[in-house]
Amino acid sequence: MKRLIACVSGQVQKGGYRKRVMQTAKAFGLKGIVENLEDGRVRIIVEGEDEKLKWFESAIDIKNTLIQVSTIEKAYFAAGGEFSRFGKVVDEDETDARLDKGVEAIGSMILAVNGVTKAIEKMDLNLSRRMDNIGEKIDTMSGKIDNIGEKIDTMSGKIDNIGEKIDTMSGKIDNIGEKIDTMSGKIDRIDGKMGFMLQKQDDLIVEVKDMNASLNEKMDRVLDKTDVVELKGDMSDVKAALRAKGII
């Protein structure tokens, strides 16, 4: 059996630290006392088996919302055996059990508030992440819409280019049409001239025929001798030659 004397510094008064020390000591079956010191520290005198004292020493190093142990000054001695249980030294201005219950209730409330605060912080973090994710999706969608707009602009440019080519082709076709019209006019004029020449040729043929007929009649009336007969034969040869050439 040994005695441990520990002086604990930090945020250890008016936060339920002594009650926690008492609960721990009773759980290990240790005996002794715990009290507040005027300098803000807490002194613990506890007796028991060596191994349990080591566990107790680790267990009283508490850090939570209301309690923050910074240092533990400790020393081991031989057990005196004067303690019959583990208790708490209470000052005249303390209400002991009521104060412990109040501190415990406040501690529970603070823990609950901290839990709610953490839950809200987690919710805010999740909400913020979701909002960021939605923002990224909106940015991605906006980029896709811009890409579609660029493709539409490119397609519109290509359509305009095709339209310009069609207009150019239409102009060329119109030019060809004008040339065909000009050529057709020239052909019409040539056809007119050919008709005029053929008409003159026909008129000339008729005139030659008339002259030939008149000449034949006159020759028949004036000449009635053998040489005239020969002359007629010659005239027949002339007519045959003219017919062969298509003049009469």
Alpha helices in 14-68 (DSSP H): 17-28, 50-59
Rounded CA separation 86/101 (Å): 19
| Residue 15 DSSP label | S
Alpha helices in the chain (DSSP H): 17-28, 50-59, 97-222, 226-244
| Residue 60 DSSP label | T
Interhelix angle 97-222/226-244, rounded to 10 degrees, is 180
Cα–Cα distance list, 161 to 65, 88, 149, 154 (Å)? 75, 97, 18, 11
Range 206-242 burial, b when 16+ CB lie within 10 A, else e: eeeeeeeeeeeeeeeeeeeeeeeeeeeeeeeeeeeee
Q: Which residues are catalytic?
A: 18, 36
Phi, psi of 40 (to 5 degrees): 95, -5
Interhelix angle 50-59/17-28, rounded to 10 degrees, is 150
Cβ atoms of 31 and 84 within 8 Å: the answer is yes
